[in-house]
Amino acid sequence: MNLKGRHLLTLFDYTPEEIIYFLDLGDELKEEFNKHGGHPNRKPLKKSLGMMFEKTSTRTRVSFETGIWELGGQPLFLSFRDTQLVGTGESTSDTSQVLSRYLGGIMARVYKHKTLTDLAEHSSIPIINGLCDLYHPCQILADLQTIREHKGKLKGLKLVYVGDGNNVAQSLMIGCTKMGMDVTIVCPDDYKPDSEITEKVAKIAEKMGTKLEITKDVPAGVKDADVIYTDTWISMGDEAQKEIRLKAFKEYTVDKKLMSYAKNDAIFLHCLPAHRGYEVTDEVIDSKQSVVFDEAENRKHSQKAVMLALMRD
Ligand code: CP
Ligand code: NVA
């Protein structure tokens, strides 16, 4: 499959077959990495990846940085604060055209999705979304890789996301629906996913023959879940609403009782960082059902697949 030169801004832009291609390649790269004790012989991507961060990160930064190095390329960490974008107000379009002359690809974590579309519009190299206000596509590729590893399949599974209808929830809706999974978002009325995105996903669900449900009813929503997923109630940028959010979500903690409504063999995922005692309790995140560290590891393998597919010669 040829995905060379494409941007990855949202999974809306990728067909189910293309998503499966990323997942299969991610599995292959993971196997190769493990077989060679962390020192793969093959160095198929001798290119530089610019990693632009407008917000903080642990997993995204480290997994992309080590991932590009393992593929044979090199990472360049570019904090927004230290570039001319912020320093002298250089335009996104000029920045994008200049960086295209030096790099093989750009991964950017930004506040507004528009910053990514602006970068992409003026770039001759792939732009990869490392999280924005609307989406977190790389996270979802790692999530799908992890679910498939633990469940042996994706199609026909029911994933229930509990909590804030945020960037992670929105990308999960897209990615899981495209994989033929049923998706339920359990959230308070005021924190539903974006309505335009929901409408678009509902159309995909209809085409794929899957269910998309949004409910505030925790036991009914979680019933029969194969996968339970949650994320922070206070995303980066939402800090000013901390107090009202803590109140709004207080019935939505993923605890042992909530897990008991799901199937007995349900697995638990969280993109991390977790806020233990808030969106999830210690006994759930540290339980046998939790696969959060496999999920974090898979960020690197699935992103290596993305970089290789989009940035290859
Ligand atoms: N899940 C995730 O993207 O983690 P970071 O914010 O640490 O990159
Ligand atoms: N929804 C969270 C995800 C962090 C990885 C945020 O945007 O801050």
Q: What is the pLDDT of residues 165-198, one digit of tens each?
A: 999 999 999 999 999 999 999 999 999 999 999 9
- For residue 250, name the pLDDT band (cuts at 50, 70, 90): very high
For domain 139-295, the CATH class is alpha beta
Query: Which class for 132: exposed (0-12), middle (13-18), buried (19 or more C-beta within 10 A)?
Result: buried
Clarify whether 145 is annotated catalytic. Answer: no
Rounded mean pLDDT, 126-135: 98
CATH code 3.40.50.1370 region(s) in the chain = 11-136+299-311, 139-295
Name the active-site residue from 6, 7, 59, 109: 109
Task: Name the helix (H) or strand (E) containing 148.
Answer: helix 137-151
Active-site residue 82, yes or no?
no
pLDDT-derived band at 42, boundaries 50, 70, 90: confident
Give the architecture-level CATH label for domain 11-136+299-311.
3-Layer(aba) Sandwich (3.40)
Residue of minimum CA distance from atom 7 in ligand 2: 235
Ligand closest to the CA atom of residue 295 = 1
**What residue has token string 């989009």?**
310
Q: What residues line ligand 2, using a CB cutoff of 6 Å?
A: 131, 166-168, 231-232, 235-236, 271
Residue whose CA is at the smallest distance from ligand 2 atom 6: 235
- C-alpha closest to that of 124 among 107, 99, 144: 99
Distance CA 142, CA 294 (A): 9
C-alpha separations of 82 from 50, 56, 79, 127 in Å: 13, 14, 5, 20
Out of 171, 172, 236, 303, mutate this one to test ligand 2's pocket (max ligand atoms within 8 Å of CB): namely: 236
Distance (angstroms) between ligand 2 centre and the Cα of 299 equals 14
Contacts with 291 (C-beta within 8 Å, 6 or more apart), sequence order: 146, 150, 267, 268, 269
* pLDDT score for 37: 81
- Residue 255 phi, psi dihedral angles, 5° rounding: -120, -175
Asked whether the whole model's pTM tops 0.85, one would answer yes
Q: Evaluate whether 304 touches 64 at the Cβ level (below 8 Å).
A: no
Neighbour tally for 161: CB within 10 Å: 28
The full 3-state SS of 84-122, as one line of letters, equals HHHHCCCCHHHHHHHHHHHCCEEEEECCCHHHHHHHHHC
